[in-house]
Amino acid sequence: MQIAVMGSYGANGTININELKENLKRTEGVTVTDSIIKLPAKVTVNGYEVTIDENGKVTVGKYPVINEIEPGEIVTGDKNKTYTKNGTAVIPVGFAILPGADNVEEGLVISDVANDTENIGNQFVWIPITDETPYKRNTSYVTTAVSEQSIDDANYLPDEITDEEEAVRNVKGFYISRYEAGKEGTNTLVSKKGATVWASISQETAKITAKSMFTNNMHTKSALISGIQWDMTMAFISSKPRVDGTGKSYDITKPDSSRHISGGVAVSGNNETDKVCNIYDLEGNAWEYIAEKNTYGSYPFIGRGGDYASSHSASYRNNNYGAASNDVSFRLALYVE
């Protein structure tokens, strides 16, 4: 590590960040270097947390608990566990890593069913947030004019959480539901492949309903995804090789007719073209309410993505009056300890 750092100085006598990244990539055992934008910075080397300061000093820190569990194995006990594969994710008690979807960089998936290769459990995708990642809205996406006035909605967080960013940064990430909100029976909320999408729901009811999953789990809580979390998900997708479930190039800022299947809202996860980083239905099934508002009179609520009949992209932000509609659903975020 020290050799890699010493080889990264520029002619002006300071460390060149781009050169440092390239030298670190060539250093055996190093993971997660693309997130470095300034010094000091932290990287993981063979499981150890290593800090590089502005003067090029390398300090080896703690050895985190890594890979205590194997994909498919439910985490038990009274503590969430840390898992590392091309990045780090927190696996909450009561969940297992989905076999074959254990790579953080590609969208690590967890399920509340062990060895869920048949996709029958509730599934969520980890969105990593590094220390250097700005936690804020992105107002550059195609959007309605008033969206730059966006603010967090009220009372969307679980009772145990008072600050969204703090909760996310404490564990360096959050989970987004892999699928649009689904319904089993009359009022059981699920995030499952092939579920009936929970449409025809108002924004206020969606906000309340989103908190109803895993209420007996002390280690993870659900909520309606916020506008910032949606944008952080978009940033995560944009930072990866952007191909959909069919291998086709995917741009979250541009709509694609193949993701907008006409005829009505289909069951969740129905369209492999509308899958990226292991997340489904961001653009083409139902439009989705989020926990975000604006100051625009009778249309104060905001939804994201597109639906089966629209020409909107996954990153699109739009205004609505918050009522129930047969083409509008919602999506969850999971907070973990």
Write out the DSSP string of 19-41: HHHHHHHTSTTEE--TT--SSSE
Q: What is the mean pLDDT of residues 3-26?
A: 89
Q: What DSSP designation does 132 have? A: T
Q: What is the pLDDT of residues 198-224, one digit of tens each?
A: 999 999 999 999 999 998 888 999 999
Q: What is the C-alpha to C-alpha distance for residues 179 and 166, in angstroms, rounded to an integer?
A: 25
In the chain, DSSP finds a helix count (H) and a strand count (E) of 5, 22
Minimal CA–CA distance to 79: which of 67, 89, 94? Answer: 94
Q: DSSP H helical segments within the chain, as ranges?
A: 2-6, 17-25, 164-171, 203-209, 227-238
Inter-residue contact 188 to 294 (CB < 8 Å): no
Sign of the C-alpha dihedral, residues 67, 130, 243, 278?
Answer: positive
Beta strands in 151-192 (DSSP E): 151-152, 173-177, 182-184, 188-190
- 121-145 pLDDT, tens digit per residue, is 999 999 999 888 889 888 777 565 5
**Quick check: 104 and 88 in contact, CB under 8 A?**
yes
pTM metric for this prediction: 0.81
| pLDDT in the model for residue 266 | 94
